Amino acid sequence: MEVGHISERAREIKARAARFVEAELWPLELTVVDGGELDRTLVDAVRAKARAAGFSMLNMPFAVGGADLPMLDLVAIEEEAGKATNGLGFIVVDRGPRELLEAATPEQVERWIMPVVRGETREAWAVTEPGAGSDVAGIAATARRDGDGWLLDGEKWFVTGGDLASFYIVLANAEGVQTLFLVDKGTPGLEVVREPRFMHDPYTSKHQELRLSRCRVPEANRVPGAGGAGARKWFSLERIMIAARCCGAAERLIDLSRGWALERQAFGHAIADYQAIQFMLADSLTELAAARLLTLHAATAWDRGDDAKIVHGKVAMAKLYASEMANRVADRAVQIFGGRGYMTENPAERYFRELRVDRIWEGTSEIQRSIIARGLLKRGAAAYLDGAVGAPVGTP
Ligand SMILES: Cc1cc2nc3c(=O)[nH]c(=O)nc-3n(C[C@H](O)[C@H](O)[C@H](O)COP(=O)(O)OP(=O)(O)OC[C@H]3O[C@@H](n4cnc5c(N)ncnc54)[C@H](O)[C@@H]3O)c2cc1C
């Protein structure tokens, strides 16, 4: 059975992305280790190179100048992004805001989305609040009508890429309905309160805390077709991409620890000769293969346009399993490297810290389990196993 067939075009892009990660991003990782910080000038230069090499907007429709690749292709390419630490992988998978595009007015597309597609600006999603993360329905930010515009009030946390963005996509309760608003940086009443440090720093972008106080935006900034559903679409896409990156990260970790196991001598043997080491490697590879299949399974269902609820459940299984798997693989890799695995210059150390967030952001592992369990209790197991990778739904 062929599993997760990807197009010739995606195969070519994936191979080029793999070479780019190795040639351009791995040396950058070392500059971060040496300097203790990311050198923005170097990152911007590599970002420009990646853009010129065609690694951007692969998810956006042809109509706006994107490559319109299906999910299976995107997943295959995103795996390569997982093979770099410090968030540098995002440089080779510079995706555009397709979920926003699908909900925006033609004027909003021209004013906010096309500059992103052209690489002139960036966006950042501001959904989470100090009082509501997993419970998106519980957000407290409000939007009140004010003449021909809206007054936004609230706090937003963990706004990834806020430092690089020129506008925020803010979720607020507008007259009882969760609604997205586009808020330009510099709008009066919008304040960046903090840019805290995180476990995975130094990272390619910051995660800002924002405060909106009587922040006035015109009606033209209200996204008509989205709201909570638009934000959830963004979550789903990000979840499957997290699963893909976790698979890429695990592959690199397994290759690195295999290499070290074959090289390192202890008690007169390569440590690869010891079953304790072999079993760690065997578990890691087996779990990676399982996570990969789950990710392809979800991507196949996505591309086939299966029932959104089933796709949602399959994406949750992929995100849950792949993120938990990658954390286990990183832990084993550190163990196989011994003391060297605890050194920042070793990718295993960086992955050990950086992969931790994949069990939290875009829905924690507990939230993924709740989604899976809810679907299972409602529809039964077959609904989530049917249409396994490569076979259309209903295939006996
Ligand atoms: C580095 C980073 C970047 C982020 N980027 C963004 C971003 O760009 N934009 C954005 O809007 N958000 C972003 N987030 C927010 C992220 O999506 C949330 O942190 C995540 O959804 C969890 O929400 P929370 O932190 O409020 O935890 P909580 O929801 O408070 O959860 C705390 C604990 O309770 C558990 N829990 C909660 N509800 C249940 C339940 N029903 N059943 C069982 N257990 C439960 C959780 O699993 C978790 O273990 C980012 C977060 C981080 C750390």
Task: Read off the pLDDT of residues 135-164 as tens digits, 9 standing for 90 and up.
Answer: 999 999 999 999 999 999 999 999 999 999
Cα distances (Å, whole numbers) of residue 81 to 141, 143, 221, 312, 388: 34, 37, 32, 23, 26
Q: Where are the domains of the chain?
A: 8-95, 106-110+119-223, 228-385
Token code pair at residue 199: 């476990």
CA 388–ligand 1 middle distance (angstroms): 30
How much is the pLDDT for 395? 44
Q: Which atom of ligand 1 is nearest to the CA of 161?
A: 8
Token code pair at residue 52: 């010129």
How much is the pLDDT for 23? 98
CA 87–ligand 1 middle distance (angstroms): 19
**Ligand 1 binding pocket mutation candidate from 122, 125, 129, 134 (most atoms within 8 A of CB):** 134
Is 8-95 a domain of CATH 1.10.540.10? Answer: yes
Is 228-385 a domain of CATH 1.10.10.10? Answer: no
Q: Which atom of ligand 1 is nearest to the CA of 231?
A: 11
**Ligand 1 binding pocket mutation candidate from 171, 360, 371 (most atoms within 8 A of CB):** 360
How much is the pLDDT for 394? 45
Task: Read off the pLDDT of residues 180-233 as tens digits, 9 standing for 90 and up.
Answer: 999 999 999 999 999 999 999 999 999 999 999 999 999 999 998 767 676 777
Which residues of the chain carry a pLDDT beneath 50?
Answer: 1, 390-396
The residues lining ligand 1, judged by C-beta closer than 6 Å to any ligand atom, are 125-128, 133-134, 158-160, 198, 207, 357, 360-364, 366-367, 370
How much is the pLDDT for 232? 74
Distance of CA 52 to the CA centre of its chain: 22
> CA 21, CA 32: separation in Å to the nearest integer?
15
CA 25–ligand 1 middle distance (angstroms): 29
Q: Which atom of ligand 1 is nearest to the CA of 129?
A: 26
CA 153–ligand 1 middle distance (angstroms): 21
Which CATH superfamily groups domain 106-110+119-223? Butyryl-CoA Dehydrogenase, subunit A, domain 2 (2.40.110.10)
Cα distances (Å, whole numbers) of residue 165 to 13, 123, 157, 207: 26, 5, 15, 11
How much is the pLDDT for 4? 72
> Catalytic positions, please?
362
Q: What are the φ/ψ torsions at residue 158 (nearest 5 degrees)?
A: 60, 35
CA 126–ligand 1 middle distance (angstroms): 13
pTM of the shown model: 0.96
